[in-house]
Amino acid sequence: QVHLVESGGGLVQPGGSLRLSCVASGLSLRYYGIGWFRQAPGKEREGVSYISSRDGRIVYGDSVKGRFTIARDSAKNTVYLQMNSLKPEDTAVYYCAAVFHGDEGRLTTKFEADVYHYWGQGTQVTVPT
Protein backbone atom coordinates (compact mmCIF):
# COMPACT_ATOMS: atom_id res chain seq x y z
CA GLN A 1 0.00 0.00 0.00
CA VAL A 2 1.32 3.40 -0.99
CA HIS A 3 1.57 6.22 1.51
CA LEU A 4 2.93 9.72 1.20
CA VAL A 5 3.34 11.47 4.53
CA GLU A 6 4.12 15.16 4.78
CA SER A 7 5.59 16.76 7.87
CA GLY A 8 7.41 19.89 8.94
CA GLY A 9 4.63 22.42 8.71
CA GLY A 10 3.86 24.90 11.43
CA LEU A 11 3.59 28.53 12.40
CA VAL A 12 6.48 30.74 11.34
CA GLN A 13 6.95 34.51 11.32
CA PRO A 14 7.36 36.38 8.02
CA GLY A 15 10.88 36.02 6.73
CA GLY A 16 11.34 32.71 8.50
CA SER A 17 12.02 29.24 7.15
CA LEU A 18 10.55 25.78 7.26
CA ARG A 19 11.56 22.48 5.73
CA LEU A 20 8.81 20.15 4.67
CA SER A 21 9.37 16.43 4.23
CA CYS A 22 7.47 13.96 2.07
CA VAL A 23 8.24 10.38 3.05
CA ALA A 24 7.10 7.71 0.60
CA SER A 25 6.32 4.11 1.45
CA GLY A 26 5.07 1.40 -0.85
CA LEU A 27 6.82 2.93 -3.84
CA SER A 28 10.33 3.93 -4.82
CA LEU A 29 11.08 7.53 -5.66
CA ARG A 30 13.52 6.22 -8.26
CA TYR A 31 10.41 5.61 -10.37
CA TYR A 32 8.14 8.45 -9.32
CA GLY A 33 8.33 12.16 -9.83
CA ILE A 34 7.21 14.26 -6.89
CA GLY A 35 5.24 17.46 -6.96
CA TRP A 36 4.51 19.83 -4.11
CA PHE A 37 1.19 21.64 -4.21
CA ARG A 38 -0.55 24.00 -1.83
CA GLN A 39 -4.07 25.17 -1.24
CA ALA A 40 -5.15 28.15 0.80
CA PRO A 41 -8.72 28.60 2.05
CA GLY A 42 -10.97 29.81 -0.72
CA LYS A 43 -8.25 29.49 -3.35
CA GLU A 44 -7.46 26.98 -6.04
CA ARG A 45 -4.72 24.42 -5.61
CA GLU A 46 -1.39 25.77 -6.78
CA GLY A 47 1.69 23.95 -7.99
CA VAL A 48 4.74 24.82 -5.92
CA SER A 49 7.59 22.61 -7.08
CA TYR A 50 8.35 19.41 -8.98
CA ILE A 51 11.29 17.06 -9.28
CA SER A 52 11.50 14.45 -12.00
CA SER A 53 12.40 10.82 -11.40
CA ARG A 54 13.87 10.60 -14.89
CA ASP A 55 16.54 13.27 -14.92
CA GLY A 56 16.13 15.19 -11.69
CA ARG A 57 14.70 18.15 -13.58
CA ILE A 58 13.26 20.73 -11.19
CA VAL A 59 10.46 23.21 -11.74
CA TYR A 60 9.19 25.93 -9.41
CA GLY A 61 6.01 27.93 -9.43
CA ASP A 62 6.51 31.59 -10.17
CA SER A 63 5.43 32.69 -6.70
CA VAL A 64 8.16 30.67 -4.95
CA LYS A 65 11.12 30.94 -7.31
CA GLY A 66 14.26 32.00 -5.51
CA ARG A 67 12.79 31.22 -2.10
CA PHE A 68 11.94 27.51 -2.14
CA THR A 69 14.23 24.58 -2.91
CA ILE A 70 13.21 21.00 -3.63
CA ALA A 71 15.55 18.08 -3.06
CA ARG A 72 15.32 14.31 -3.13
CA ASP A 73 17.08 11.77 -0.90
CA SER A 74 16.62 8.46 -2.67
CA ALA A 75 18.21 6.48 0.16
CA LYS A 76 15.54 7.79 2.53
CA ASN A 77 12.79 7.72 -0.10
CA THR A 78 12.06 11.29 0.89
CA VAL A 79 11.62 14.60 -0.89
CA TYR A 80 12.17 17.87 0.92
CA LEU A 81 10.90 21.36 0.32
CA GLN A 82 13.07 24.02 1.92
CA MET A 83 11.06 27.22 2.24
CA ASN A 84 12.88 30.46 3.00
CA SER A 85 11.78 34.08 3.22
CA LEU A 86 8.26 32.99 3.97
CA LYS A 87 5.43 35.43 3.41
CA PRO A 88 1.83 35.53 4.68
CA GLU A 89 0.68 34.57 1.19
CA ASP A 90 2.53 31.26 1.58
CA THR A 91 -0.04 30.23 4.19
CA ALA A 92 -1.71 27.05 2.95
CA VAL A 93 -1.95 23.31 3.34
CA TYR A 94 0.99 21.80 1.49
CA TYR A 95 0.64 18.44 -0.24
CA CYS A 96 3.12 16.18 -1.94
CA ALA A 97 2.04 13.94 -4.79
CA ALA A 98 3.68 11.18 -6.82
CA VAL A 99 3.52 10.53 -10.55
CA PHE A 100 4.80 7.32 -12.12
CA HIS A 101 7.82 7.92 -14.36
CA GLY A 102 5.95 6.44 -17.31
CA ASP A 103 3.38 9.22 -17.03
CA GLU A 104 5.73 12.11 -16.39
CA GLY A 105 5.74 12.80 -20.11
CA ARG A 106 2.07 13.75 -19.80
CA LEU A 107 3.00 16.69 -17.60
CA THR A 108 3.28 19.97 -19.45
CA THR A 109 3.45 22.52 -16.65
CA LYS A 110 4.38 19.68 -14.23
CA PHE A 111 1.46 20.74 -12.04
CA GLU A 112 -1.44 18.93 -13.75
CA ALA A 113 -2.93 17.44 -10.59
CA ASP A 114 -5.04 14.84 -12.39
CA VAL A 115 -1.90 13.13 -13.73
CA TYR A 116 -0.54 12.39 -10.26
CA HIS A 117 -1.33 8.96 -8.85
CA TYR A 118 -0.84 9.35 -5.12
CA TRP A 119 -1.33 12.19 -2.67
CA GLY A 120 -0.44 12.82 0.93
CA GLN A 121 -2.76 14.21 3.56
CA GLY A 122 -1.07 17.57 3.74
CA THR A 123 0.70 19.70 6.32
CA GLN A 124 -0.38 23.17 7.38
CA VAL A 125 1.96 26.12 6.97
CA THR A 126 0.91 29.39 8.58
CA VAL A 127 2.72 32.70 8.17
CA PRO A 128 0.82 35.43 10.04
CA THR A 129 0.53 38.99 8.81
pLDDT of residue 54: 85
Mean pLDDT by 10 residues, the chain (129 residues): 97 98 96 97 96 93 97 96 98 98 91 96 97
**Cα gap 13→129, rounded to integer Å:** 8
pLDDT of residue 38: 98
